[in-house]
Structure 1
Amino acid sequence: MEALAVRLSGLDPYVDGAMRIVAFYDTLMRRRVDLPALGRASAALAECVVGLRLHGTGRVVRVAPDGRPAPALPAPASTTVPITLDEEEIGTVWLERPGPAGPLDELLLDRLALAAAGVVERYGPARTTMADPALVELAISADADEADRARALRLLGFAAGVPVRVLAVRSPLPLDRVGTLVCPAGPVKAALVGDVGVVLATALDPARLPADARAGIGAAGGPDRSWRQARAALRFTGPREPVVHYADLGALALLAELPEEAVRDNPDVAAIARLAADPHDLETLDAYCATGSLRRAAEILHLHHSSVSRRLEHIGRSLGMDLTAPGGPLRARLALTAWRLLADAPSPTA
């Protein structure tokens, strides 16, 4: 950017150059240019390749200084700045300048990011992923009447009559990024309801969820019903099964409908709660219930099958049940699942 600073220089090359960059982008914004035009103007000003990417759609604009599309093989970014809208990061802009960054590069990108956010807000549908939690709660509430629900969905950017699916998620990744990952192309909205992230979308790709996330997925249809299913499915997730589709639960979903007090007072569930004081015993029982096989459980635990057999004998005595009997593993699995559901019982607002 040294050449730019000299070209725009007055008494103070940096200050004069900075002021001219600000005025340059103010003019572009008044002219209501689109993203390609914004990229072309920026590349000419910066005298290097300029790039712009929107997270939600995956759209990328890369322009060379002559106004033509940049070569397919990008150079490393010399300077990068996020595009933010409504306090959400919706994309990135960058310069591909050979050699070190110039003194005005960051300012240029700051103004480019502001202008790009303005373009997206003006022309882009469903501008951001994060939504007003009150609207999301109205859309998924079982108590809302259909007219209010339809209005909430319309305000969230969903077309009338299009089935909306709901995902209930817990993830260390920001919720807006989770939303754009699982629905990179279609309308998607997200909000935190209670302690659970809610993602509404017309289509979901669970395979794109981050590895450390846990998610329950409801079926397509009414968002209120899909939310209840997704919230229930989330309760069945665990380290071995971080993503659960409600439709795959079958009769197991009935466990989520049982009164908490009845589950807590069940002798088998109470025995599992006591067993949980020893994580190794709990892990052994979980592996055995998940596989139904002593040898396969030993493979998962990286132990000899004789060691797992001895552990299961001890666990069976602690639980007061014979885990080798025909109904033993099923009984233990039901108790283990019911105990886990207690730990993730939804609050009244969720």
Structure 2
Amino acid sequence: MAAVKGLLLRLSALDADAATAVRVIAHFEALLGGGLDPVSLTRSTAGLAGCAAGLELPDGRVARFGSAGTALPGVPGHVSGRVELEPAGRVWLERAGAPGPFDELVLEWMAIAARVLAGRPRRTRLPSAADPALVELVLSGREDASDRARAVRLLGLDPEAPLRVAAVAGGPATDAGVEAVALLGRVSLPGTVRVARVGSVAAVLVQHSGGSPAGCADGDVPGRGVSPAAELRVALGERLRDRGPVRRTAHAIRVGVGGGAGPLDARVSWAQARSALRFAVAGTPEEAVADHDELGPVALLADIPVERLRAQADVRRLNGLECGERDGRPGRGSDLLDALAAFCRTGSLRQAATELHLHHSSVAARLARVEQELGWRLRDPQDRFRAQLALHALRLADDSECRGGGDGYGDGGAADGTG
């Protein structure tokens, strides 16, 4: 028990990357609350980033400053990163070398502030970095209820109100904690939000004010706290529409959302979030954010051993379609599976084409190829259901030879330290 008590005293052991990310956001929050203007925004951003920064608003106003606060004339130098504004304008950084580790986050929040200057309403809320030791304690199933309750209070959460836990994973070259903070900066989730990196993923605790009674088992009480999945899909969609490094890292983000639970049973929501994350596929927001409640009975597939999933005939054929080369066209299999997944989810050729940003004839050709290779008739509801189950099983099987390896979450609790 002494070790458990010691965890509660490690309030200074904040995740360094997540804490720095929150300080970046706090910088812009202060600007937004203090009479923002283009000059102060650009000068302050240049000082924060330690390099020249520039701003061009849709109405034509332009500002450009060096890191020392000196106005810079002329055209920008080497632009190391930028975010476009809509319907016109942009913000940018001019760093001589490679972009800094937090340049992406600085640009995102500079763009948010610029949109306020352009008259667009702000709908962001500051997420808070939390002590990873406290978060791990709340998510653990091994510690006493009294220790978990104290950790909940130290995190600023209500011990009586239900919460949900989300698991956020980024690409191999990104930090999950920073990606989670950047994603949450795009959405206004009501209530209290806490973020900490736990193993290779980020844990996000979301507690709405009010809601259903705490301690309810998943599925017992409808509406026991609204899932943030829809808002997270909107936020991810916004990031995917940006240009430059913001968009590149957004393409690797995956999110799993757990069901509602009482704070003392947060481990249940955390387990569901990690299970849902296994169903998430980086790409479109609809595929990249998986909600355990939306999965329903399909979530039971996660209980099947990976070896059995890989051995199933439909899964083996889909895996061969993804990994193999057809007619001398490498990589074609991934396009086929993307079209199959979109069609199975929407049930509409045109909706699938819209989601994939393709012409419907291109999607139709890819689906015809899937039918030819696997012998399915995708207009048949039974075959379509069979295909969707096989897709889910293929994702859970996570064939590392074709997908480039896992991300550390697929081994249960080993990666996160919570068991």
Report the CA distance shift for 1:58/1:245 in structure 2 as closer, same or farther (over 3 A).
farther
Q: CA deviation at 1:295?
A: 5.3
After TM superposition, list the pairs within 5 Å mapping 1:232-311 onto structure 2.
232-238=275-281, 239-240=283-284, 241=286, 242-277=288-323, 278-294=333-349, 296-297=351-352, 300=356, 302-303=358-359, 305=361, 311=366
Pairing of 1:74-93 with structure 2 (within 5 A)? 75-76=39-40, 77-80=42-45, 81-82=47-48
1 or 2 for the larger relative contact order (CA 8 Å, sep ≥6)?
2
TM-score, normalisation: structure 2: 0.51
Aligned to 2:198: 193
**3-state SS of paired residue (1:60):** helix
**Structure 2 residue corresponding to 1:338, chosen from 352, 373, 393:** 393
Q: Is the 8 A contact 1:217 1:234 kept in 2?
A: yes
State the partner residue of 1:60.
30
Counterpart amino acid of residue 271 in structure 2: R
Is contact 2:43–2:67 with CA below 8 Å preserved after alignment? no
Distance in 2, Cα, partners of 1:102 & 1:56: 19
> SS where residue 316 of structure 2 aligns?
helix
Could you tell me whether the CA contact under 8 Å between 1:57 and 1:184 is conserved in 2? no
Query: Structure 1: any 5+ residue segments left out of the alignment?
Result: 1-52, 63-68, 84-97, 106-126
CA distance in 1, matches of 2:67, 2:267: 53
* 1:318 and 2:382 correspond: no
Residue 219 of structure 1 aligns to a residue whose secondary structure is coil
Aligned partner of residue 55 in structure 1, secondary structure: helix
- CA apart distance, 1:273: 0.7
**Aligned equivalents of 1:142, 1:246: Cα separation in 2:** 19
| Cross-structure match for 1:216 | 256
Counterpart-to-counterpart distance in 2, 1:181 and 1:301? 23
Offset of 1:332 from its aligned partner? 0.8
> Judging changes above 3 Å, is the alpha-carbon distance between structure 1 residues 287 and 99 closer, same or farther for their aligned structure 2 residues?
closer
**Partner SS, residue 259 of structure 2:** coil
Farther off after superposition, 281-290 or 315-324: 315-324
Q: CA 1:273–1:310 in 2, change beyond 3 Å: closer, same or farther?
A: same
Q: Distance in 1 between matches of 2:411 and 2:35?
A: 53
- Aligned-partner Cα distance in 1 for 2:312–2:202: 31
* Aligned position for 1:165: 164
1:321: how far off?
3.7
- Return the alpha-carbon distance in structure 2 between the equivalents of residues 258 and 225 of structure 1: 19
In structure 2, do the counterparts of structure 1 residues 317 and 160 end up closer, same or farther at CA, with 3 Å as the change threshold? same
- Aligned pairs for 1:1-150 within 5 A: 55=25, 60=30, 75-76=39-40, 77-80=42-45, 81-82=47-48, 129-150=128-149
The amino acid of 2:411's aligned partner reads: S
Give the CA deviation at 1:247.
1.9
Deviation at 1:297, TM superposition (A): 4.4
Shift of 1:137: 1.8
Deviations along 1:60-119, one digit per CA (max 9) or x if unpaired, are: 368xxxxxx976756444344449xxxxxxxxxxxxxx99889799xxxxxxxxxxxxxx
The answer to whether residue 200 in structure 2 is matched with residue 230 in structure 1 is no
Aligned counterpart in structure 1 of residue 411 of structure 2, from 328, 347, 350: 347
CA distance in 1, matches of 2:352, 2:182: 36
Q: Distance in 1 between matches of 2:322 and 2:197?
A: 30
Q: Quick one: distance in 2 between partners of 1:54 and 1:74? A: 18
Q: Secondary structure of the residue that 2:128 maps to in structure 1?
A: coil
Structure showing greater Rg: 1
Matched AA of 1:147:
S
- Verify the 8 A CA contact 2:349 2:360 in the aligned structure 1: no
The alpha-carbon distance between structure 1 residues 232 and 57, as it changes in their structure 2 partners (threshold 3 A), is farther
**In structure 1, what is the Cα distance between the partners aligned to 2:305 and 2:235?**
34
Residue number in structure 1 paired with 2:57: none
Task: Give the total of aligned pairs.
Answer: 256
